[in-house]
Amino acid sequence: AQSVTQPDIHITVSEGASLELRCNYSYGATPYLFWYVQSPGQGLQLLLKYFSGDTLVQGIKGFEAEFKRSQSSFNLRKPSVHWSDAAEYFCAVGGGSNYKLTFGKGTLLTVNP
Amino acid sequence: DVKVTQSSRYLVKRTGEKVFLECVQDMDHENMFWYRQDPGLGLRLIYFSYDVKMKEKGDIPEGYSVSREKKERFSLILESASTNQTSMYLCAIGQQGFAGGYTFGSGTRLTVV
């Protein structure tokens, strides 16, 4: 069965600081990996995705993520956080023919001025 | 871009009522999903459908059923609503398998009293 672990429930950073959100997955074959963001009162928006190829993927809003097969990880990074990045972030894994995604429990990001 | 519309943003129902949550897409995508989102638990898959009249149970189907009579519409049914079904319900469609990721509706916040 596929699963996702986001070890950090809540992270607080200062505006302008760098950010790394952790994601570990379990999947039997080559996974499809995603990061979504949910701003307060908003729906989920796709930040970036990984299928194959270059293990460093770029997304929207200046985010990037690196796939590390040996560590079963897909961590999300941003070099300099803006106050508008305050939101909840979800990592998801999928694969196979039913296109089912399994989500982590989310990491809430607070940005201090 | 595809648009995913959930018929109600907020809904209040009484225990024991039969509840219908509607999700409509404006394109022709096969894969549609219902998730519920609860604080600290992330998104959990209830049911999904990969074509008209086709459905499969997700991770937490108990107390729910679904209907997909037309390709563009996927309904979630709570046969007899209970207070533990108070939650945010999110509909999603899958575009081009995993290649396009999921597009989510804005959600229905259901309160069962």
Q: Is the pLDDT at B44 greater than 90, yes or no?
A: yes
Which of A52, A98, A107, A108 is best to mutate for the B interface (most B CBs within 10 A)?
A98
B43 with A103: Cβ contact below 8 A: yes
- Are B37 and B107 within 8 A, CB to CB? yes
- Chain B positions with Cβ closer than 8 Å to A: 31, 33, 35, 40-45, 48, 50, 56, 58-59, 90, 92, 94, 97-99, 101-107
What residues of A are in contact with residue B31 (Cβ under 8 Å)? 98-99
Q: What is the mean pLDDT of each run of 10 residues along chain A (113 residues)?
A: 93 97 91 93 91 92 96 97 97 83 95 94
% of chain B with per-residue pLDDT over 70: 100
B104 with A43: Cβ contact below 8 A: yes
A100 with B45: Cβ contact below 8 A: yes
Q: Quick count: other Cβ atoms within 10 Å of Cβ B97?
A: 17
pLDDT score at B2 = 84
Chain B closest CA to A81's CA: distance in Å?
Answer: 23
DSSP string, A2-19: -EEE---SEEEEETTS-E
- The count of C-alpha atoms lying within 13 angstroms of the C-alpha of A15, restricted to the half-sphere facing its C-beta, is 7
pLDDT score at A99 = 80
pLDDT score at A53 = 86
B58 with A100: Cβ contact below 8 A: yes
Distance, CA of B80 to chain centre:
16
- Are A80 and A97 within 8 A, CB to CB? no
Task: For residue range B53-89, list pLDDT tens digits in order.
Answer: 899 999 999 999 999 999 999 999 999 999 999 999 9
- Are A9 and A67 within 8 A, CB to CB? no
A34 with B101: Cβ contact below 8 A: yes
Is A86 touching B (CB cutoff 8 A)?
A: no
Report the amino acid identity of residue B53.
K
Nearest CA in chain A to B31: A99
How far is residue A80's CA from residue A71's CA, in Å, rounded to a whole number? 25
pLDDT score at A106 = 96
As a three-state string, the secondary structure of chain B is: CCCEEECCCEEEECCCCCEEEEEEECCCCCEEEEEEEECCCEEEEEEEEEECCEEEECCCCCCEEEEEEECCEEEEEECCCCHHHCEEEEEEEECCCCCCCEEECCCEEEEEC
Both tokens of B70, joined, read 């037309």
